[in-house]
Structure 1
C-alpha cells in the first residue's frame, strides 16, 4: 500500500464526519453500525478515492489476504542513543552508569533503552544488558565486565582480608584490624596489598614485620613493606631510653647567673 502523509491518512476521518454523520439519527449502537456498513458498501467503498484513484472496496479486496492479526504482546517501544565507553568501563545514559566489557573502553556504542531494560551494542553485537536505572548517579556493574585484576579486587573484601591475616599471624591480624578501624573502604586496597606480601616473604616474616610496625604505632601497609624490604623484621624493636635530666634540674644545680640579676631585668 502506498505511503502518504499523516494529513492525507487522516482525511478519511473528515470524510466520514462530513458525509456520513450529518443528518443521521441512530436508535442504538447496533443501528449505527448497520447504517455505517450500508453506507460503506453502497457509497463510500464504491467511489473513486481522491488520492489513490482506486475504488476503496476493490483495493481492500487485494490487501485483505495480507492483513495479519495484531501480536498478543504489544510491541516494545525503545529509544536508541550513541554513547562512549568511559575509562572506568561504564557508559552513561540519563546520568545513570552501566558497565560494558572492559575491552571496549574508548569505543562508541549504541544503546537501546526501553522502559525496563538498557542494552548496549558494538557493531550490531549485543555486549551488555542491564535493568533500567532511574535515579541519577546510580550504577549497575556486571563483575564479568571488569578486567581480571579488578574482579580479584572485588572478590577480596574486608572479610577475605581478615581471614588471610588470621592465617598469617596475630600481629598481622592486629594490623589489619587497626587499618579497618580507621576507614574500611579507604584502607581496603592497602589491606589487600599487605596480606599479598605473604606470597613474597612468607607468613613468619610478614607477621614479624607487622609486630615491629605495631611497636612503632604505625599499622600501615607502607610501613610493613619498608620493614620487609630492608629486612628489619628480624631485628629486635628499639627501646626508647629515657634521657637523664641535666645537672641544672637535679639537686645542687645552679644557674649561670644569680637569681636576683635574672629577675631584675
Structure 2
C-alpha cells in the first residue's frame, strides 16, 4: 500500500513511468496499469485529494485467482510431501524420490519453495510471553561445563553447571557439579534457596530423570525424592511439556549467558576454584548488568523488591533423601551406589523402597521400615546384620574358630587336642571337618565323642572320618590295644631281627 500511494504521488507530480521504474519501486508495466486506473477515477487531478487506503486497495489489489502458472507443479503430491517433511526428510531426498518414482521434471528449488509455503501455511502457533510477579517463580536447568583438571591430583573430569534464575528479577544462582544425580539435584536446590534467602511459589523445570520419572504434557510423574524436597521447601513443581523448552526460556537464556560471557578464556584449578569464580561473577558482572528484557540490574531488582517477598526458609532444613526401588538379591542384600546392605531373609526376590540420606540407608516394604544401616562413604562395601540371615546361616556364622575351640574344651581334653591338631593343618582349612566332629555330640553324646577322640589321638589319626568310623563301629567302647606299647618297645629297643650297625658293616 505504501508503494501504491507513493506511485500515485509521483504520478500526480508528473514523473514518467520510466522514472518511477528506475527508482525500483515497481516495474513499468505495473506503473502503467496504475496510471490507467488512476486516470479513470480522477486520482491524478492536482486539486483532488488522494483516496483512502481502502479505496486504493479495492481498486488496485488483485482479486482474481492466480493464473495456472502460479500453481506449484508439486501440488498433486502435496499430502505426501507434507508427510515426508513432517517425518524429517530433507528437500533433496524428496526431489530425488519424486523424480525416481513419479517422473517429476521440476527443479530442487521448486521443492524448497513448496516446503517453505507448507511452513508458512502451518505457522498457526502464536508465542505468548509469560509474565511473572515477584517471588512467584524460578526456572532451573543444567548446562554443559568445561572439563576441569585438578592441579592437586591431575584428574580430568567432565562438569555441568546448575542454574536457578528468579523469573521476575532475573537474579540467579549457579554452581558447577560433577554429575546430574538426584542427590546433586537436591543439594543444588538447597544451596540455591540458601543463596537467595528464601523460596518461590513454583519452580519450572524440564524433564530430567533426576526430577521427573515419566514425562507427560498433562500428568508427569515426579521423582519421589524431588517431591519430598518440594514439600519441605513449600514450592510447587511446574514441569515443561516434552520437547518444549520455551516454557523456561528465562533460564535457557541464563545458561547461554554463562556459556558466552563467563566460561570463555578462564582457567580453573579445581571444582572449588571454578565455583568461587562463578559466584563472584554472578554477584558482580551478571548481577549488575542492565538486563536486556527488564532494562534493570538483576541484583538491584532482587534486593529492592523480590528478596523481601520470598517465602522464608524452614527453621529446620528438610532432610534431602534419595528414593529408589531396589530388588532383594538371593543373599538377602540390596545394592545401592555400589554398596550392599542386608534385609530380612524372608524378603528375598521382593522389591523394596530404599531411602538414602547423607548418613542413613533405610529400606521399606510399603510404609513399614524393614531395615536400617549407616550409609557407607566408599564404594564396594557390604553390611550384613546377623539377624537378617536365616537360622542355619546364623548358626554357621556363629561357629567360628573361637567357638569351635571353646566347644571342644567343654567336651574334653582329647577333643580339644584333636581340634587344635586339625586347625594346625598347613594345607587345608579344616573348619567344616572340625564342625563335623563337634556335631557328632548330638548323636553319640559327650562321653563317647571324648573317648573316640582319645582313641584317634592315640593312634595319631585325628580327623572326622576316623572319629565317625570309631563311633559307628563302637570301638570307643573297647580298651586300647594292650600290646601296642610292647610292640613299640620291640621295634625301638631291640627284637627278633634287631642287629647292631657294626655287625652289619663287617
**What TM-score results when the alignment is normalised by the length of structure 2?**
0.36
Aligned counterparts of 1:225 and 1:70: Cα–Cα separation in 2: 73
* Structure 1 gap ranges (5+): 23-28, 46-56, 246-250, 252-265
The one of 160, 167, 183 equivalent to 1:11 is 167
Aligned counterparts of 1:180 and 1:87: Cα–Cα separation in 2: 32
- Structure 1 residue aligned with 2:408: 165
User: Which structure 2 residues correspond to residues 183-262 of structure 1 after superposition, within 5 A?
Assistant: 186-235=429-478
Q: Is the 8 A contact 1:99 1:141 kept in 2?
A: yes
Q: Is the 8 A contact 1:112 1:119 kept in 2?
A: yes
Q: Is the 8 A contact 1:85 1:109 kept in 2?
A: yes
Q: Rate the CA distance shift 1:36–1:192 in 2: closer, same or farther, 3 A.
A: closer
- Structure 1 residue aligned with 2:296: 20
Secondary structure of 1:205's counterpart equals helix
Is residue 356 of structure 2 the alignment partner of residue 113 of structure 1?
Answer: yes
Question: Quick check: 166-175 or 130-139, which moved more?
Answer: 130-139
Following superposition, the deviation at residue 177 of structure 1 comes to: 0.9
- Structure 2 residue aligned with 1:96: 339
**What TM-score results when the alignment is normalised by the length of structure 1?**
0.63
- Structure 2 residue aligned with 1:260: none
Q: Rate the CA distance shift 1:131–1:172 in 2: closer, same or farther, 3 A.
A: same
CA deviation map 1:30-59 (0-9, x unaligned): xx79x964xx4xxxx9xxxxxxxxxxx9xx
CA deviation map 1:98-119 (0-9, x unaligned): 1100111122222112222111
CA deviation map 1:214-257 (0-9, x unaligned): 24544223432232233232345675898x99xxxxx9xxxxxx
Q: Is the 8 A contact 1:96 1:134 kept in 2?
A: no
Following superposition, the deviation at residue 205 of structure 1 comes to: 0.8
User: Which structure 2 residues correspond to residues 58-73 of structure 1 after superposition, within 5 A?
Assistant: 67=311, 69-73=312-316
- Give RMSD over aligned pairs: 3.9
Q: Is the 8 A contact 2:342 2:383 kept in 1?
A: yes
Q: Is the 8 A contact 1:168 1:203 kept in 2?
A: yes
The one of 381, 389, 401 equivalent to 1:146 is 389
Equivalences, count = 210
Q: Rate the CA distance shift 1:181–1:102 in 2: closer, same or farther, 3 A.
A: same
The structure whose Rg is larger is 2
Q: Rate the CA distance shift 1:81–1:182 in 2: closer, same or farther, 3 A.
A: farther
CA deviation map 1:198-217 (0-9, x unaligned): 22212221012112332454
Q: Rate the CA distance shift 1:173–1:85 in 2: closer, same or farther, 3 A.
A: same
- Structure 2 residue aligned with 1:134: 377
